[in-house]
């Protein structure tokens, strides 16, 4: 196992000296991840994801329980672990903001003592796959968010880590940038060299990258399962949003539709439908009844999924 935790718990003391109280950020996380896996680590804000990641990477000491990453004790062997994992935070940078991207990579390679030949090979590959040639000489502070994230991921991979931890890597990126990053990560993981642990609020990130999903809430693991199983069992309704060319009454009697909401004086309708219904068939059925100007399909958000999971995981 590349990640092995047992009953990981982390408390924080918050408040002033006079009114101090104990908050449990992570209550009980037991998690085993095998080499080569790609695991989506999900949960609403404040569920304990970041705290767990900090404990796995040696930044925080667990209050109780144990963790082993790459066979090391994360806190006691923090610097050794640093050589063997890569970490990308969507909201903080590991690059040097005043250096050209290329020099940031260079320093990163030197810090990790990557042999020159291996460094060149690895860098060339990342530059090509992530299309970074045009901005390698640009100082990091002048990069767009999308360019910077490509740089962050490259830096985290230069030393060929066994485990890559990504904390909301696609946050704030436009669709094209998200997609480029996902396909790159998926390719890297597919070669079996690196294990991925990914936190995100973006369901497509998980669908594209992860076969396995671990959902935590209130510091506990709610579900740990294959993504496909999870969706079948818990996914909430999708919503077909149809924009009409003329106002219409609420569309009743559509196959598989469980709820209809009318907006914009009947110009827009939101049709909620269950997992057993195909969006394509539903669109065709609607199109036979009214003239459509536009359609979109809203996937259930991670929050919806987690809410459903949470409700169903409570003892009856």
Partner 1 sequence: MAETVYPRIIASRVRGQLAYPWSFALDVAAQVIGQAFELVTIVVIFTQVTTLGGFTASEVVLIYGLAATAFALTDLAVGQVEELPTFIRTGELDVMLLRPLRALPQLLTADIALKRLGRVVVGVAALGYALASNNIVWSPVTVLVAITAPLLGAVILGSIWVAANALSFWLIDSSEVARGITYGSGFATSYPITVFGPWLRRILCFAVPSAFIAYFPALALLGRPDPLGLPELLRYSAPPVALLCIAAAALVWRSGIRRYQSTGS
Binding site for partner 1 (CB under 8 A): 10, 12-13, 51, 54, 57-61, 75, 78-83, 85, 87, 89, 91-94, 96, 98-99, 103, 107, 110-113
Extract the tokens encoding 70: 């790459």
CB 112, min distance to partner 1, A: 7
Cα separation, 216 vs 44, in Å, equals 8
Measured from the CB atom, is 81 or 223 closer to partner 1?
Answer: 81
Looking at the DSSP assignment, which residues form a beta bridge with residue 40? Answer: 198, 213
CB 21, min distance to partner 1, A: 14
- Give me the helix-helix angle, 145-157 and 116-129, nearest 10°: 150
Contacts of 11 (CB under 8 A, 6+ apart): 22, 23, 24, 25, 63
Measured from the CB atom, is 49 or 212 closer to partner 1?
Answer: 49
Question: Which SS3 state, helix, strand or coil, does residue 294 take?
Answer: strand
Measured from the CB atom, is 59 or 272 closer to partner 1?
Answer: 59
CB 8, min distance to partner 1, A: 14
CB 141, min distance to partner 1, A: 11
CB 113, min distance to partner 1, A: 7
Measured from the CB atom, is 96 or 290 closer to partner 1?
Answer: 96
Cα separation, 122 vs 125, in Å, equals 5
| Strand positions, DSSP E, the chain | 3-14, 21-33, 38-42, 64-69, 85-89, 163-167, 195-199, 212-217, 220-226, 238-244, 257-263, 268-273, 292-298
- Residue 302's Cβ-count burial label (10 Å; 0-12, 13-18, 19+) is buried
Measured from the CB atom, is 57 or 200 closer to partner 1?
Answer: 57
CB 86, min distance to partner 1, A: 9
Measured from the CB atom, is 81 or 188 closer to partner 1?
Answer: 81
């Amino acid at each position: 196992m590349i990640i092995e935790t047992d009953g990981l718990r982390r408390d924080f003391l918050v408040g002033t000296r006079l009114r101090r109280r104990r908050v449990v950020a992570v209550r009980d996380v037991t998690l085993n991840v095998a080499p080569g896996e790609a695991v989506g680590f999900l949960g609403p804000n404040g569920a304990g994801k970041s705290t767990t990641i900090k404990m796995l990477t040696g930044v925080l000491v667990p209050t109780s329980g144990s963790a082993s990453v790459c066979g090391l004790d994360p806190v006691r062997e923090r610097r050794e672990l640093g050589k063997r994992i890569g970490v990308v935070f969507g909201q903080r940078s590991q690059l040097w903001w005043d250096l050209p991207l290329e020099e940031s990579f260079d320093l990163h390679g030197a810090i990790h003592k990557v042999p020159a030949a291996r460094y060149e090979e690895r860098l060339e590959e990342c530059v090509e796959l992530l299309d970074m040639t045009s901005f390698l000489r640009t100082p990091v502070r002048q990069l767009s968010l999308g360019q910077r994230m490509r740089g962050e991921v490259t830096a985290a991979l230069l030393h060929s880590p066994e485990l890559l931890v990504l904390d909301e890597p696609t946050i704030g990126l436009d669709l094209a940038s998200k997609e480029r990053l996902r396909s790159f990560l998926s390719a890297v993981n597919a070669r079996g060299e690196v294990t991925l642990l990914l936190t995100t609020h973006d369901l497509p990130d998980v669908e594209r990258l992860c076969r396995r999903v671990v959902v935590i809430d209130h510091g506990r693991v709610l579900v740990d399962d294959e993504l496909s199983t999870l969706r079948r069992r818990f996914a909430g309704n999708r919503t077909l949003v149809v924009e009409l060319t003329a106002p219409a009454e609420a569309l009743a009697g559509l196959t598989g539709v469980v709820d209809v909401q009318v907006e914009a004086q009947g110009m827009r309708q939101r049709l909620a439908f269950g997992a057993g219904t195909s969006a394509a068939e539903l669109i065709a059925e609607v199109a036979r009844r009214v003239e459509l100007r536009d359609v979109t399909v809203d996937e259930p958000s991670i929050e919806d999924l987690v809410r459903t999971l949470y409700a169903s995981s409570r003892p009856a």
